[in-house]
């Protein structure tokens, strides 16, 4: 029975990594860089509805308080609003495999932020892990002759930085009485409100929202994103953060595979070197079981 549990967890981890990599190819496919805020409204609206159905089914609907709302606004900003906006903005300008490589550097930026705030002791293993990661990222940024592409790659670094801030913030201030799906819904709902407000400010037309409902690629992206988030929280709850971090090793080759299948992207020597360096970095950093002391916001 234990072996069956292990096989199930491993299969789900492979599935999560494959879907995560596919997510970035679909972000590139929908081609929403002209106004990323417009696609975020229907995307987050559907995700909110699906998460609400899950909470309703398990009778886990909760009340939004002022402190919880502040938590969800900050977490949603770094988990959804900023990274998704940047992903939709940069994806059409670069290979999806490169975008996956950049986003996979989340552990490197997380560690740098943790060090800046002196939340973790320095060790040689973590120093080398950070160095390998930074070299890999630097090669991505300067590895090509296309200066415009290098600029978009630099902008794409906002995505792992945002996810890093989100992970640290959530671990530090996660409310005591909320489970993972309740937090997922709260983040998503707060992000939807923020995005609607931003769209009102910039004057987005209603037709720009409804346009996405007619695209098969949008519905596929939405479905994959929902399954991806749900799988992440399921594995996190049942197998823990250390196990789920192993997916970082799998998502990079999966990203290049989807890029080849969907867009015919080639796997170059510089991509191979960057992949090896970032995988080495994650191996050195990701196996460290450091914890930030939780001081719940409520």
Chain centroid to Cα 128, Å, comes to 24
Count CA within 13 A, CB hemisphere, residue 45.
14
Residue 235: helix, strand or coil by DSSP? helix
- DSSP-assigned letters across all residues of 147-177: HHHHHHHHHHTHHHHHHHHHHHHHHHH--TT
Provide the 10 A C-beta neighbour count for residue 141: 16
| Nearest CA among 296, 294, 297, 291 for reference residue 121 | 291
**Residue 195 has what pLDDT?**
93
Q: Tokens 């990274």 identify what position?
A: 83
**Residue 189 has what pLDDT?**
95
DSSP structural state of residue 204: -
pLDDT tens per residue across all 298 residues of the chain: 455 555 777 788 888 888 888 998 899 989 888 888 899 999 999 999 999 999 999 999 999 999 999 999 999 999 899 999 999 999 888 888 888 888 887 777 777 777 777 666 667 777 777 777 778 777 777 765 566 567 888 899 899 889 888 878 887 888 888 888 898 899 999 999 999 998 888 888 888 888 899 889 999 999 999 998 888 877 776 765 556 666 666 777 888 888 888 888 887 787 788 888 877 777 776 555 555 666 777 7
**Residue 110 has what pLDDT?**
75
Name residues whose C-beta falls within 8 Å of residue 60's C-beta, 6 or more positions apart in sequence.
179, 181, 182
- b/e map of 27-66 (b: 16 or more CB within 10 Å)? bbbbebbeebbbbbbbbbbbbbebbeeebeeeeeeeeeee
| Nearest CA among 292, 75, 295 for reference residue 184 | 75
- DSSP-assigned letters across all residues of 38-103: HHHHHHHHHHHHHHHHHHHHTT---PPPHHHHHHHHHHHIIIIIHHHHHHHHHGGGS-HHHHHHHH
- DSSP-assigned letters across all residues of 112-143: HHHHHTT-S---HHHHHHHHHHHHHHHHHHHS
Query: Please, are residues 128 and 284 in contact by the beta-carbon 8 Å criterion?
Result: yes
**Residue 146 has what pLDDT?**
60
**Residue 122 has what pLDDT?**
64
**Residue 118 has what pLDDT?**
65
233 vs 51, 182, 191, 213, 282, CA distance in Å? Answer: 12, 11, 18, 27, 21
**Residue 11 has what pLDDT?**
83
Kindly state the tokens that stand for 149: 């592409």
**Residue 32 has what pLDDT?**
85
> Where is 11: in which H helix or E strand?
helix 2-30
Predicted TM-score (pTM) of this structure: 0.84
């Amino acid at each position: 029975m234990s072996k069956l549990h292990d096989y199930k967890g491993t299969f789900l981890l492979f599935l999560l990594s494959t879907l995560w990599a596919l997510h970035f190819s679909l972000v590139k496919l929908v081609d929403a860089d002209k106004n990323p805020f417009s696609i975020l409204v229907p995307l987050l609206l559907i995700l909110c509805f699906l998460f609400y159905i899950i909470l309703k089914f398990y009778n886990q609907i909760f009340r939004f308080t002022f402190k919880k709302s502040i938590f969800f606004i900050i977490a949603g900003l770094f988990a959804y609003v900023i990274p998704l906006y940047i992903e939709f903005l940069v994806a059409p300008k670069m290979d999806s495999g490169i975008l996956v490589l950049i986003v996979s550097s989340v552990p490197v930026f997380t560690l740098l932020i943790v060090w800046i705030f002196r939340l973790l002791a320095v060790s040689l293993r973590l120093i080398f892990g950070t160095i390998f990661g930074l070299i890999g990222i630097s090669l991505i940024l300067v590895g090509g002759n296309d200066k415009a592409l290098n600029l978009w790659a630099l902008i794409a670094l906002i995505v792992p930085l945002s996810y890093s801030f989100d992970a640290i913030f959530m671990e530090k201030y996660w409310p005591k009485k909320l489970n993972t799906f309740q937090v997922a819904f709260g983040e998503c709902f707060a992000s939807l409100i923020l995005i609607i407000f931003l769209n009102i400010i910039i004057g987005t037309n209603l037709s720009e929202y409804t346009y996405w409902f007619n695209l098969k690629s949008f519905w596929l992206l939405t479905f994959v994103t929902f399954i991806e988030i749900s799988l992440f929280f399921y594995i996190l709850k049942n197998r823990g953060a250390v196990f789920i971090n192993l997916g970082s090793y799998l998502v990079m080759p999966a990203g290049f595979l989807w890029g080849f299948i969907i867009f015919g992207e080639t796997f170059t020597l510089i991509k191979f070197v960057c992949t090896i360096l970032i995988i080495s970095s994650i191996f050195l950093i990701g196996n460290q079981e450091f914890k930030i002391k939780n001081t719940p916001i409520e």
